[in-house]
Amino acid sequence: MFTSHIECPKCSAHYEPDQPHQLCSCGSPLLVKYDMQKVAANMHKDVVARRPPDLWRYRELLPVVNADNIVTMGEGMTPLLHLQRLGRKVGMQNLYMKDEGIIPSGSFKARGAAVGVSRAKELGVKTLAMPTNGNAGGAWALYCAKAGIEAVIVMPKDAPTIPRSECAIAGAKLYLVNGLISDAGKIVAAAIAEHQWYDASTLKEPYRIEGKKTMGLELAEQFGWTMPDVVLYPTGGGVGLIGIYKALCELKELGWVSGDLPRLVAVQATGCAPIVRAWEEGAQQSEFWNNAHTCAFGITVPKAIGDFLVLEAVYKTNGCALAVSDEDILAAESLMAKVEGAFVCPEGAACMAAAERLLAEGWIKSDERVVVLNTGCGIKYPETVECNPPLLQPGDTLNWSA
């Protein structure tokens, strides 16, 4: 609506917003820029507060020009839950969880799909293709079905079963690869070059991040246009973390929030931690992580194309990057369910495990406002839960001990 141009964060090249764009000619992802004076003149807190509780309430800071092109299933404005019982148990007075598990398709990927597919529809895209670790493919397949766009999805054969089913039932062309998302990406890139499809891979089009950034806009609004002290985000491709940082910077430019930005924490698994290793070395980009493996499948990304943007967000907010073990991830997943009734995805549990570590190390203070991002519904990952209850026969009695 108020897009001014598309900009390269590396070489500062500008592109007109009315044409489809993929990467910059220099190979960098592109970012949407807005005419912030026009946004400020047309977007007001009191008006936003009266709008429907979905991500399109921030439409002046989103790239869709004609509202008729919006493809929506009511995504956005997910709960910000104060985890009081868990906070008392672990020693954090102000522990919160932004719960993306109740969003359409069961994960935060619906945000990127909603805006990305809406803009693709507006630009006249007929077929798009993407590699995925699961949830993004499921979300984009469903939104493409609603938009009338053909989706071609390639994911690792070890991806969770439920996102595969989402792709299949939505009518997407689904392929499995005997490898990682990086291998899927190479196959997709070759097919796009051959068929001239629209590339919806992570950060290879500029609009997915605009949907993801609405998590940051919602956090600010839900905290009364103030900011938390720390936000922990499970980082694979890192689009959500980049988006949250972008959103909060835009709000500061509008004058809607003030003070320091929250310290952003990129959370990875010890079995796949390229961003963590780069941050520990003070590097500006990461190196490919060999033999990547973790139970938090969504963050199994050996090399993210936007790694330099993730690291920039971490450095500029005085944040950090931290890797946690699969053992700690599964322990945190169990703890959150038992104490708060929150069945989170393993990626979200990784954030809780990281928060506990950072509290123990003194990096997080007990009275700080801390937000963990749960990026998906735990029931999409049944393989992370052991469930072997006793089998009773008709007429059996319960051997109960309190």
What distance lies between CA 65 and its chain's CA centroid?
Answer: 24
Q: For residues 236 and 271, give the distance between their C-alpha atoms in angstroms, rounded to a whole number.
A: 12
User: Domain span at residue 355?
Assistant: 80-106+210-382
Q: How far is CA 35 from CA 4, 42, 56, 66, 279, in A?
A: 5, 11, 18, 17, 33
Domain assignment present for 300: yes
Domain assignment present for 249: yes
Q: What is the pLDDT of residue 1?
A: 76
pLDDT in tens, 192-207: 999 999 999 999 999 9
- In this structure, what CATH number is given to the domain that contains residue 221? 3.40.50.1100
79, 142, 88: which is closest to 377 by C-alpha?
79
Q: Quote the DSSP letter at residue 400.
A: -
- Mean per-residue pLDDT for 113-139? 96
pLDDT at 401 over 80: no
What integer best gives the mean pLDDT of the chain? Answer: 96
pLDDT in tens, 32-60: 999 999 999 999 999 999 999 999 999 99
Domain assignment present for 214: yes
Q: What is the number of alpha carbons within 13 Å of residue 3 lying toward its C-beta? A: 22
- Mean per-residue pLDDT for 206-221? 98
- Say how many domains are in the chain: 1
Q: What is the number of alpha carbons within 13 Å of residue 274 lying toward its C-beta? A: 24
Domain assignment present for 371: yes
Domain assignment present for 46: no
- Name every residue whose Cβ is closer than 8 Å to that of residue 93 and which is 6 or more positions away in sequence: 87, 366, 367
Domain assignment present for 2: no
- By the 8 A CB rule, do 313 and 242 touch? yes
Domain assignment present for 156: no
DSSP SS3 for 297 = helix
